[in-house]
Amino acid sequence: MAKKPQNEAPLISVETPLISVVVPVKNEEGNVAPLLMEIAAALDAACEQDATLAYEMIFVDDGSTDTTSAILANLRGSYPALRQLRHGASGGQSAAIRSGVLAARGTYIATLDGDGQNNPGFIPAMIALLRADAMVGIVQGQRVGRKDTPFKRWQSRQANRIRGAILKDGTRDTGCGLKAFPRRVYLLLPYFDAIHRFMPALVKREGFTIAHLDVIDRPRHSGVSNYGFWGRLRVGVLDLCGVWWLLKRKKPTPQVEEIV
C-alpha cells in the first residue's frame, strides 16, 4: 500500500473507532511493516463501503530485542490509525493481547498473530458476524490449508481434539490467532496466561454463542516461531485442567435490577 500524502484526509477517525485491531509481536522485524500495510488496506477498503467501520491498529511489542519497536515508531507517521504499545519485558502473547484490549477504544476487537500467517482480509467478515447478532461473543477463525510442518499440524490436531472433548466448545481450531469479539465480552473473562487458546469455551461459559469462520492459512513471511513443543505441552495440560474447573464452577449469572 502506497504511503498516503500528508495533506490527504484519513479514511478513519482514530478518536472514535468501532474496531480495534490488536496485534501482539515479538522479534518480528521482518513482518510488522507488510502486515501493517495489509491490515490498513483491508480495513480502508471496508471503510469505503461502510463509513461506520472506523478503526485503529494497536501493535503490542512484547519486549522485542530486535528492531521491531523502531520500525513501528517509524511507521506511525504514515499511518494515523497506528498505536504502539511496548512491554518492558516479555509477558507472553496473552499478556500482549490483554494490554492491547485494555488500551483499545473500539467496541469490537480483532486479533491476529504478528508473523503474517493470518490474513487480515477476513477481519471485516468477522466484524459483520458480530454486528449481526448481539449474542455472538466471539468469531473464531478456523485455519484451512495449514502451512505449518507436518509435526506441528499433528500436534495441533491432537491438542484440539483433547481440548474439544473435555471443554465441549465445538471449535476445531482455537489456536488460530484470527479472532474477533466485543471488548465488553473479553472484560468479563478471567485472565490467565494462554487464555487466548481457551476463549471459545470461556465465552460460552458467560452465556454467549460462538461463530466460526474458515480462514486461509499462510506461511510465515520471515523469522522463526517463538513457541516450543514441550513447553507448550506442559503448561497446556495445566491450563486445560484449570479451564475445566472454571467451567464446572460457573453458576448462572443472575439478572440484575436497580431499585430506584
Ramachandran angles phi, psi of 211, nearest 5° = -110, 150
Q: What does the H/E/C string look like for the chain?
A: CCCCCCCCCCCCCCCCCCEEEEEEECCCCCCHHHHHHHHHHHHHHHHHHCCCCCEEEEEEECCCCCCHHHHHHHHCCCCCCEEEEECCCCCCHHHHHHHHHHHCCCCEEEECCCCCCCCHHHHHHHHHHHHHCCCEEEEEEEEECCCCCHHHHHHHHHHHHHHHHHHCCCCCCCCCCCEEEEHHHHCCCCCCCCHHHCHHHHHHHCCCEEEEEEEECCCCCCCCCCCCHHHHHHHHHHHHHHHHHHHHCCCCCCCCCCCC
Write down the pLDDT at residue 202: 96
Strands 55-61 and 82-86: parallel
Map grid coordinates 472514535 to a residue: 16
Write down the pLDDT at residue 145: 78
Write down the pLDDT at residue 147: 62
Q: Which CATH number fits domain 19-248: 3.40.50.300, 3.90.550.10, 3.30.470.20, 3.40.190.10?
A: 3.90.550.10
Amino acid at 219: P
CB distance 53 to 127 below 8 Å: yes
d(C-alpha 178, C-alpha 223), whole Å:
20
C-alpha cell belonging to residue 160? 484440539
CA angle at 185 for the pair 122 and 254, rounded to the nearest 5°: 145
Amino acid at 61: D
C-alpha cell belonging to residue 14? 482514530
Consecutive 10-residue runs of the chain (260 residues): their mean pLDDT? 41 73 97 97 96 94 97 97 97 97 98 96 98 98 78 70 85 93 97 92 96 90 57 70 89 86
Write down the pLDDT at residue 220: 72
CB distance 99 to 59 below 8 Å: no
